[in-house]
Structure 1
Amino acid sequence: MQKINAATLIDKAPLNKNHKILVFWCAVIMLFDGYDLVIYGSVLPHLMKEWQLTPQTAGLLGAASLMGMMLGAVTLGMAADKFGRKNIIIACTILSSLAVAMNGFAHDTTTFFICRLLTGIGLGGAVPNLVTIIKEMAPGTHRNRLINFVLAFYGVGAIISGLSGLFLIPAFGWQVTFWIAGICIFLIPIMYKTFPESISYLIQKNRQTEVVKTLEKLNPAHQHHANMHYVVETTASKQKIPVVGLFTENKAIGTLLIWSGFAMVMLMVYGLNTWLPKLMNVGGYSLGSSITFLVTLNIGAIIGTLIFGVLADKWGAKSTLIFGYLLSAASISCLGFHPPTFVLSALLVIAGGATVGSMSVIHTLAADFYPTNIRSTGVSFAAAMGRFGAISGPLFGGYLLAINLPFQQNFIVFAIPGLIGALAIGLFTQKKILATPQMAKG
């Protein structure tokens, strides 16, 4: 029996329509994820007025989806290593679509909180697995760019949510913005039929017939013969509990530093997306202008994600991240000084690009750091630990608003995580892990 490394075949394959189908669906899911998460920032000023919310309560509601994302990343991320990337991604998409649509029917803070929590659980399980499946299925020369291309659609969804808040809420009320997000549920049948399963998972489960069919699509030039048996490279670790593998074989310090990097960038991203319109409104800008600033921030997010994908291919993920964190800190700290409109818009584009661009690259760093058999677990746990920072963003923003800090100081405080993140990634060192062929049992 001839052993063939499936990962090598995928690495050397030219980009074709089957890769593009995978990327298309991942981008669609990411678009709705961005919309689902950021829509709260557009709704918040209206919700605070209609429900008479305190800043602390508003911050807690904003943190609900991020608490759910932490739970989803841990539980459903690990489940993907057992039940398959495809099944978990689609199940999570169904959950988040239904939950966010139900948000539009909420009439009290408790129901609203529960719906946001469930939305977050679905998103938390989906996003890390989108990164993982592209990491495992994309050609090596295109991998980082495709991952960042997909993650850029978070910004597309965020922009759409901002525009919805600007144009639809005054005409139809805030509820309609949540109902729009439920549209994704109608795409599930087509998605399930055309979305491929991960090669690594199929090999792990000894589903060789499906491996052959998938490889024929991803690398048509490869000729399969009956005596071929496909394997993937993975660590020689014998750990039966995947999470234990995150701290063995010299990975413990790297794992903790990655977690720190995730937490800091997510604090900046979700803190700004939740509170930017309200903070700018309190600072003297009109509500319409404040929501427009949110759109501008996420235009930067799209541009930055694409640029940072190219930079990661040229400079490496570590150097790109250090640059991104420092640029985030510098641009955010300048937002509170009432610069001219053009300069303010430029700063928002830079801040959005640097924060979300860094968030996309750190997913790639985590996927590179962990071996195949614990990759979903590693990326998902990193994203889950990062949610502590994400949860802190809305809560901290509410606290800052409640204590009435000077306008400039609010943004200086939001910039500090960028410096901490740069330090964490600067200390990160990736070590080579001994790899051996991973064959399915049975």
Structure 2
Amino acid sequence: MKRASVSDVQSFIDERPFGHFQRLIFFMCFVIVLLDGFDTAAIGFIAPSLLGEWHLARPDLAPVLSAALFGLAFGALVSGPLSDRVGRRSLMIGSVFLFGVACVASAFSDNIGQLTALRFMTGIGLGGAMANAVTMMDEFCPTRRRATVTSLMCCGFPLGAALGGLLAAWLVPHAGWRSVLMLGGVTPILHGALLVVKMPESVRFMVANGKPVARIRAVLSRISADAIGVRGFAMTESAPATGHNGIGLVLSRSYIVGSVMLWIAAFMGLLIIYALFNWMPILLRDAGLSLKSATLISALFPLGGVGAVLCGALMDRFNANLVIATCYALAAVSLFCIGATAAHVLLLVPSVLVSGVLMNTAQASMNALAAAFYPTEGRGTGVAWMLGMARFGGIAGSFLVAELMRSHFTLVGFFATIAVAGALACIALLIKQVAPPQVFSAAPEGIRSLSH
């Protein structure tokens, strides 16, 4: 059979339906993000139990609540450049096993120091897994559906966090807080085994790095048998060429303004989210709710992340920067309303849910925004570094609430303070919109063929 000469790999994906093989990749990446959300939020839901068992003061929880976030930041910042060098698949699988084993070990902690160290190790794995899952899914998506599919996948994070709250509300009274961590560790270990068997390497990464065309054809043939008749594969990027890879591209003159604005918006978003993930159950307990009610109402906040599906669809049709900026602006308004309704459960429940929809929708959609912003040579680093910088926002959120509690802020004052972060995220994306990458040079991608 005579082979066609050369096919552009993205055009090959774009011209075919989102089929069974891509849905399998979506499922595997979605589960990674789901487990990331579960394990990240688990510590907040077991925090009230730690206070009693280990006789801690509330501010004593700040280090353990933020330990995983330090690990997440470190894991994302390191894994991004590595994935642009060695590939998405190996970093993803290793990261999943790491956070699973560390989470299981944390269930056997005897004191706050041990738990803090193991949560840091858990975070390193979480940071690498999440960043590579986003990049992998983006690179297997048709361009016309990229934001929708990536945002849908990222809904796994808030859903996982909400699932953590619902399961913790049942598990902690019946089996203790350690059972939550055990569940959060065993599940990713089992999923890691599936990844070893089923997860392919990114075809865009393989083309960009000159991998053997037979490997590329083998993966693409699972999308369509048409790939069997193609002699070689090329790749073109609509983004500006810079002559750099990885960190050099992310920090290049073409991309630096957009990169910094993505970091600021993601930082502010996770400041809000982790402040509420980690502290809302305690804050609502202090407002007079029972432990079970405080846990269940707090679980409504991450559940709101399912709105990212609609946001992704809007991003595929309209200006993505402006869509997410609008979500952040409305989230800032709704967050302020939570403090004013805390004394009235019937008003508090919808307030928490609406703010969760807006806030988690905006934050989950940031992953698709970053993945679309960078070309293949720097996408792994760009997405991972945005996520890494965002985790520092989560760290800041944990310590910010501790300081506000020391200063005896009221609930109204607390939510008014963190609402400012939502406004700053909105402003950052508006700046990114008016300062897009500038094309200083342009060069076509090399052709990857049988000769490689």
1:320 and 1:238 mapped to 2: Cα distance?
A: 31
- SS of 2:188 mapped into structure 1: helix
1:153-181 C-alpha deviation (Å, 9 max, x unpaired):
11221122111221110111100100001
- SS of 1:428 mapped into structure 2: helix
1:422 and 1:236 mapped to 2: Cα distance?
A: 28
1:51 and 1:31 mapped to 2: Cα distance?
A: 29
Query: 1:333 — aligned with what?
Result: 336
For structure 1, which segment, 35-44 or 308-317, has the greater mean C-alpha deviation from structure 2 after superposition? 308-317
1:427 equivalenced with 2:431 (yes/no): yes
Query: 2:219 — aligned with what?
Result: 214
Instruction: Report the CA distance shift for 1:79/1:403 in structure 2 as closer, same or farther (over 3 A).
Output: same
2:188 and 2:387 mapped to 1: Cα distance?
A: 23
Contact kept, 8 Å, 2:8 with 2:235, in 1: the verdict is: yes
Equivalence map 1:302-313=2 (5 Å): 302=306, 304-313=307-316
Of 282, 285, 288, which residue of structure 1 is paired with 2:286? 282
Equivalent position amino acid for 2:193 in 1: P
Of 147, 150, 161, which residue of structure 2 is paired with 1:147? 150
How far off its partner does 1:353 sit? 1.5
1:35-60 C-alpha deviation (Å, 9 max, x unpaired):
10111111011112222223332112
Query: 2:445 — aligned with what?
Result: 437
For structure 1, which segment, 260-269 or 314-323, has the greater mean C-alpha deviation from structure 2 after superposition? 314-323
Contact kept, 8 Å, 1:65 with 1:117, in 2: the verdict is: yes
For structure 1, which segment, 148-157 or 48-57, has the greater mean C-alpha deviation from structure 2 after superposition? 48-57
Contact kept, 8 Å, 1:263 with 1:385, in 2: the verdict is: yes
1:393 and 1:369 mapped to 2: Cα distance?
A: 27
1:50 equivalenced with 2:58 (yes/no): no
For structure 1, which segment, 293-302 or 408-417, has the greater mean C-alpha deviation from structure 2 after superposition? 293-302
How far off its partner does 1:356 sit? 1.5
1:238 equivalenced with 2:238 (yes/no): no
1:14 and 1:432 mapped to 2: Cα distance?
A: 33
1:231-281 C-alpha deviation (Å, 9 max, x unpaired):
222454333x62121122421111111110110111111111011111111
Equivalent position amino acid for 2:164 in 1: S
1:367-419 C-alpha deviation (Å, 9 max, x unpaired):
11111111101111111111221111111112222221112111111211000
- SS of 1:2 mapped into structure 2: strand
- SS of 2:232 mapped into structure 1: strand
1:116 and 1:2 mapped to 2: Cα distance?
A: 51
Contact kept, 8 Å, 2:264 with 2:428, in 1: the verdict is: yes
2:352 and 2:121 mapped to 1: Cα distance?
A: 30
- SS of 2:234 mapped into structure 1: strand
Equivalent position amino acid for 2:339 in 1: G
Contact kept, 8 Å, 2:205 with 2:376, in 1: the verdict is: no
2:55 and 2:418 mapped to 1: Cα distance?
A: 26
How far off its partner does 1:205 sit? 3.8
1:61 equivalenced with 2:69 (yes/no): no
- SS of 1:368 mapped into structure 2: helix
Query: 1:112 — aligned with what?
Result: 115
Of 260, 266, 274, which residue of structure 1 is paired with 2:264? 260
Query: 1:36 — aligned with what?
Result: 39
Contact kept, 8 Å, 1:59 with 1:396, in 2: the verdict is: no
Query: 1:196 — aligned with what?
Result: 200
1:412 and 1:236 mapped to 2: Cα distance?
A: 43
Query: 1:174 — aligned with what?
Result: 177
Query: 2:254 — aligned with what?
Result: 250
Instruction: Report the CA distance shift for 1:405/1:249 in structure 2 as closer, same or farther (over 3 A).
Output: closer
- SS of 2:421 mapped into structure 1: helix
What is the total number of aligned residue pairs between the two structures?
A: 438
Query: 2:30 — aligned with what?
Result: 27
Instruction: Report the CA distance shift for 1:341/1:307 in structure 2 as closer, same or farther (over 3 A).
Output: farther
For structure 1, which segment, 141-150 or 325-334, has the greater mean C-alpha deviation from structure 2 after superposition? 141-150
For structure 1, which segment, 362-371 or 13-22, has the greater mean C-alpha deviation from structure 2 after superposition? 362-371
2:183 and 2:46 mapped to 1: Cα distance?
A: 13
Instruction: Report the CA distance shift for 1:10/1:432 in structure 2 as closer, same or farther (over 3 A).
Output: farther
1:96-143 C-alpha deviation (Å, 9 max, x unpaired):
111111111011111101111111111111112111111111122222
Contact kept, 8 Å, 1:301 with 1:349, in 2: the verdict is: no
How far off its partner does 1:298 sit? 2.1
For structure 1, which segment, 35-44 or 244-253, has the greater mean C-alpha deviation from structure 2 after superposition? 244-253
2:158 and 2:392 mapped to 1: Cα distance?
A: 21
Query: 1:297 — aligned with what?
Result: 301
2:346 and 2:432 mapped to 1: Cα distance?
A: 37
Contact kept, 8 Å, 1:55 with 1:402, in 2: the verdict is: no
2:204 and 2:184 mapped to 1: Cα distance?
A: 32
How far off its partner does 1:222 sit? 4.7
Q: TM-score, normalised by structure 2?
A: 0.93
Equivalent position amino acid for 1:431 in 2: P
1:100 and 1:142 mapped to 2: Cα distance?
A: 34
1:384 equivalenced with 2:388 (yes/no): yes
Instruction: Report the CA distance shift for 1:238/1:134 in structure 2 as closer, same or farther (over 3 A).
Output: same
Contact kept, 8 Å, 1:101 with 1:179, in 2: the verdict is: yes
What 5-or-longer segments of structure 2 have no aligned partner?
none
What 5-or-longer segments of structure 1 have no aligned partner?
none
1:223 and 1:354 mapped to 2: Cα distance?
A: 45
Q: TM-score, normalised by structure 1?
A: 0.95
Of 80, 87, 92, which residue of structure 2 is paired with 1:77? 80
1:327 and 1:98 mapped to 2: Cα distance?
A: 39
1:317-369 C-alpha deviation (Å, 9 max, x unpaired):
21111111112111111111136433322221121111221112111111111
